[in-house]
Structure 1
Amino acid sequence: MVAIETDSLERRFGSVRAVEELDLEVDEGEVFGFLGPNGAGKSTTINMLLGFVPPTAGSATVLGHDAATESLAVRQRTGVLPEDFGVYERLTARKHVRFAIDCKGAGDDPDALLSRVGLADAADRKAGGFSTGMRQRLAFAMALAGEPELLILDEPSSGLDPNGAREMREIVREEVDRGATVFFSSHIMEQVEAICDRVGVMREGRLVACDSIASLKRDLDVDSRLVVEVDRVPEGIREELLALEGVSAVRIDDGEIEVALSRAGRKTAALDAVERSGAAVEDVSTEEPSLEDLFEALTTESEVAP
């Protein structure tokens, strides 16, 4: 079953196309990472999915509801953690969560939700004195009210320390185990790689890639790196390595030779070249492309792929 589906979804602001011909499917029960640089169209897409911004063209369906004409039904079944969440400074954390519960017509215990996100001791504190991380935890507790079928999380780990980010990931996994779908937008590639089943990458309003991270790493010609530690750096080794097929760059620093290899490059050929030069190889390691490498490749090319 499909939780989110868009068909040629577009949004224009005057002559600017913030989102252009977006065709996207997010399956029920998956964690989908929605990535892109600032201004790529991510927030505009989220606002259209929630019915806050009407599309200029195309359509979006969320949990079987038309996002433009049935937005209230969408929001009743969706938990949202927005970017730059604003609190009511004079209200306590408990009252914030109680408000979210009442809006959903749910029967949750606000203290249980606050405990789940690590705010049990702050339940009676006014939110105006909360740190950025505490406000983020509070917004997450409110998003969890009513056991939503869909969670839309926009930069959910913003302001959280590493322990808070880890706790957030654990809660997301618990929600997926419960049967929820998670639509997850973030600039922190480590968080995305740790938790997402698939990712979609936006650039200049268009979806330029959509697949599992493993498939993107396999299909995109993004450099891996071979790092060779030697007893000495032979003269002319940089030129010899650069002459090999698939070698895109060579960095030499204090007895370490780092070779960037495209998909056409062979690590064994580069290592053989170093050994033939007469240097003694003391250690060898490899670094495969990270999601950050893929993100850079997809969002900095000279033209957006059709």
Structure 2
Amino acid sequence: MTVIQTTEVSKRYGGESAVVDLDLTVEDGVVYGFLGPNGAGKSTTIDMLMNYTRPSAGSITVLGLDAQEDASEIHARTGILPDQFGVYSTLTGREHVRYVLDANDATGNPEAVLDRVGLGDAIDQRAGGYSKGMQQRLGLAMAIAGEPELLILDEPFSGLDPYGVRLVRDVVEAERDRGATVFFSSHVLDQVERVCDQVGLLANGHLIAEGTPTELRDIAGVQTRLCIETADEDLAVEGIRDFDGVEDATYDAGEIVVTCPRTACYQVLRRLEGAGVSIRSFDVEQGTIEDAFVELADA
């Protein structure tokens, strides 16, 4: 089933375009990363999916329902962590989660949900005393409460320390394994790459590329570099350039740098060892989604 479908969707504020002719398809059971810098149009797109604002042109369906006509049903089946999430300072963590469950007529255990996001010890504390990171994790707990079919997370890494960032990734993976579809936006591109099945890159309101992380690196021509520390002279480089899959090889100051697909790195190392080259150490530098974004945005 197609969970999110936008067709030629645009949003204008006065004379300024925030989103332009967006055609987006998100299938059931995937983690879709909607990536781009601040101001690219990510939050505006999410606002249109949830009918917080209406498109200037185009059509949107969510969970097979019209985003405008069926907004109430979509909200009942969707968990959302909005950007700039705020808490009710006088309510406890438990009361926040219970409110969501009651509002969506859903069943669930607030204690179990808050344990998942590392707030089990603070469940009965008033949220006004939570740190920024704790408030962000409370927002995540509210989003996953009741096991929604669709989870929408807008900048979920905001305000989190490394532990919190890893926790978000773990929760996203668990929700996908449960069968939910996860759609989230972020400008923290390196974190999103670790968990996404599909990625859409947004720049200035335009969807500039879409695919798996590997496909986007290939489209952008982002390359993997195998860096090998060796005491041998650069005579080995000429032979390396003849290896299958190797695009280039250079030698400088005791290091051979080989440009090749990641899948070819092991074969290169084996052939060098077989040729008697002394390898002290090696490292694989793989191009990232951030590298791909920069290449595609500047194209």
Normalising by the smaller structure, the TM-score range is: 0.7 to 0.9
Shift of residue 137 of structure 1? Answer: 1.1
Structure 1 stretches of 5 or more lacking a match? 268-279
Shift of residue 147 of structure 1? Answer: 1.4
User: Does 2:296 correspond to 1:295?
Assistant: no
Residue 82 of structure 1 corresponds to 82
**Pairs within 5 Å for 1:214-233:** 214-229=214-229, 231=231
Shift of residue 229 of structure 1? Answer: 3.6
Look up the SS of the partner of 1:182 in the other structure. strand
Counterpart residue type for residue 30 of structure 1: V
Residue 14 of structure 2 corresponds to 14
Deviations 1:182-218 (A, max 9, x none): 0021222332122110100001101001101122222
Shift of residue 81 of structure 1? Answer: 0.8
CA distance in 2, matches of 1:256, 1:187: 34
Cα distance, 1:286–1:117 mapped onto 2, change above 3 Å: closer
CA distance in 1, matches of 2:191, 2:254: 34
Structure 2 stretches of 5 or more lacking a match? 266-277
CA distance in 2, matches of 1:224, 1:168: 28
Residue 38 of structure 2 corresponds to 38
CA distance in 2, matches of 1:286, 1:114: 38
**Pairs within 5 Å for 1:1-306:** 1-229=1-229, 231=231, 255-256=254-255, 285-299=283-297, 301=298
Look up the SS of the partner of 2:152 in the other structure. strand
Residue 273 of structure 2 corresponds to none
Deviations 1:73-109 (A, max 9, x none): 2111100011221111111111111111111111222
CA distance in 1, matches of 2:19, 2:213: 23
TM-score (structure 1 length as normaliser): 0.81
CA distance in 2, matches of 1:140, 1:18: 26
Deviations 1:119-147 (A, max 9, x none): 11111111111111110111011111221
Shift of residue 116 of structure 1? Answer: 2.0
CA distance in 2, matches of 1:228, 1:107: 56
Shift of residue 226 of structure 1? Answer: 4.3
Shift of residue 228 of structure 1? Answer: 4.6
Shift of residue 114 of structure 1? Answer: 1.4
Cα distance, 1:170–1:282 mapped onto 2, change above 3 Å: closer
CA contact (8 A) 1:104 1:145 kept: no
**How many aligned residue pairs are there?**
282
CA contact (8 A) 1:132 1:159 kept: yes
CA distance in 2, matches of 1:133, 1:142: 14
CA distance in 1, matches of 2:87, 2:216: 38
Please say which of residues 289-298 and 161-170 is displaced more in the overlay.
161-170
CA distance in 1, matches of 2:41, 2:183: 15
Cα distance, 1:90–1:258 mapped onto 2, change above 3 Å: same
Residue 277 of structure 1 corresponds to none
Shift of residue 35 of structure 1? Answer: 0.2
CA contact (8 A) 1:151 1:183 kept: yes
TM-score (structure 2 length as normaliser): 0.83
CA contact (8 A) 2:217 2:223 kept: no
CA contact (8 A) 1:93 1:124 kept: yes
Look up the SS of the partner of 2:194 in the other structure. helix
Over the matched positions of the two proteins, sequence identity in percent amounts to 49
CA distance in 1, matches of 2:107, 2:128: 26
CA contact (8 A) 2:226 2:260 kept: no
